Structure 1
Amino acid sequence: MKLGIIRCQQTEHLCPGTKCLQGAQHHTFNFEQFKDEPIELVGMVSCGGCPGKQVSARAAEMVKRGADTIALASCITRGNPIGYPCPFQAKQKDLVRRQLGENGRLLEYTHE
């Protein structure tokens, strides 16, 4: 798997992405399902700020750089660590799916 992670810009000052990165590195959390597949991190970027205005361009760039899987970090879909999931996540998922195409994988969260 060649993985790109998109995270919430609003949480960057609180979270350095440790659980997302460790999950991918050690095949834990939502990456456990890929335990038999090596994971190479292509990039980790923010959404670009509300309402996720850069998600499409950033997903496209990661695909261009080889990503076949893009994960929306748990800060977007589960609200970690601020307890507030992104109200624009459905649109972001749609935009990422378009950039990934039929063969790409979208992970809807990275960790609990």
Structure 2
Amino acid sequence: MVKVGFIICPHCSDMTWETKEFAAVKTGAGAFRNLGPAAVVGCIACAGCPGRQVVNRAKLLIKCGADIIAMSSCMSSTAADKNACPYYEHILEELSKKLRTTIVIDCRNGAGA
């Protein structure tokens, strides 16, 4: 079974994303539809702006068994949303570049759909 680890925002106080994204992983829905049913191994915060520790944090998830790193939708709210991470695109790019053997999923693409 494929295992997913989530990168979250440490400033995000609304944890409703967990319900929909963890359920999406379990059922293989939304952004995880190409995986089929999978398991969540954990979630960890990026360590604060501008995501200086995000690659190291992702590597911790990989050590815990994550095959895939998913950027939680709590970080990727719309630009008009005050909770949107202004470094989201940069973080996504860094993870994709530095974790070449690990798939990075952008949960903006319908995690809970």
| TM-score, scaled relative to structure 2 | 0.78
SS of the aligned residue for 1:44 comes to strand
- Alpha-carbon distance in 1 for matches of 2:43, 2:58: 10
What residue number does 2:95 align with? Answer: 96
Q: CA deviation at 1:20?
A: 1.4
SS of the aligned residue for 2:34 comes to helix
Gaps of 5+ in 1: none
What residue number does 2:14 align with? Answer: 14
SS of the aligned residue for 2:65 comes to coil
- Name the % identity: 28
SS of the aligned residue for 1:87 comes to coil
What residue number does 2:75 align with? Answer: 76
| TM-score, scaled relative to structure 1 | 0.78
- Alpha-carbon distance in 1 for matches of 2:96, 2:20: 23
Deviation per residue, 1:16-43 (Å, 9 max, x gap): 52111111112222112222xx412221
- Alpha-carbon distance in 1 for matches of 2:61, 2:25: 16
What residue number does 2:28 align with? Answer: 27
Between Structure 1 and Structure 2, how many residues are aligned?
Answer: 107
Name the structure with the higher helix share. Answer: 1
Deviation per residue, 1:60-82 (Å, 9 max, x gap): 11122222210001122234xx5
- Whether the aligned pair in 2 keeps the contact of 1:2 and 1:66 (CA below 8 Å) is yes
- Alpha-carbon distance in 1 for matches of 2:44, 2:71: 10
Gaps of 5+ in 2: none
Q: Letter of the aligned partner of 1:19 in structure 2?
A: K
CA RMSD, Structure 1 to Structure 2 (Å): 2.3
